[in-house]
Amino acid sequence: MQNSILLVEDDPRELELTLIALKRNDFGDDVAVVQDGEQALDYLFRRCGFANRDAGNPSLIILDVKTPNLTGLQVLEVIRESEMTRTIPVVILTNSQSVSDLQKAYDLHVNSFIIKPFGLDDFVEAVSKLGIFWGELNNPPIGSIPISAHVR
């Protein structure tokens, strides 16, 4: 099965909370998870361990700024430079409150920059809203794998 959301998150607790929030809105089966920036690019460009995954881009990438190997901003830069991936919507979901991270992300044409709420309930609610907007309301670019709740 092809996944239509690529989630790039290295923190196990925040990964679990994000997946819980997405599952609450029926997007849980659509998520491919990688834990660092290098894996994210391998997934997108079908390299290394992802060379045999089905063709097609995810409809959404949820990306943390602080990821191992390559930062989220470095990953975003590569995504936007490639003809194959530049139209994929990218949401940065991060703990970073750095003005320079925010500015750099928008300079690289991020679609949304969300600072992770501190409280558990607020975090789950924010990710749920993110899933509803990108999964139900937004129309993904041509060539994307639709999010299953979106096509119901």
User: Is pLDDT above 80 for 145?
Assistant: no
User: Is pLDDT above 60 for 1?
Assistant: no
Residue 61: closest CA among 125, 138, 123: 138
pTM for the full predicted model: 0.87
Fold classification of 5-142 is: Rossmann fold (3.40.50)
pLDDT at site 3: 63
- How far apart, in whole angstroms, are the C-alpha atoms of residue 20 and residue 109? 28
pLDDT at site 147: 67
**Cβ–Cβ < 8 Å for 24, 53:** no
Average pLDDT, the chain: 88
**pLDDT digits over 47-61, tens only?**
999 999 988 899 899
Query: Can you give the residue ranges of every domain in the chain?
Result: 5-142
User: Is pLDDT above 70 for 104?
Assistant: yes
pLDDT at site 152: 38
Residue 63: closest CA among 87, 98, 81, 90: 90
**pLDDT digits over 51-103, tens only?**
999 888 998 999 999 999 999 999 999 999 999 999 999 999 999 999 999 99
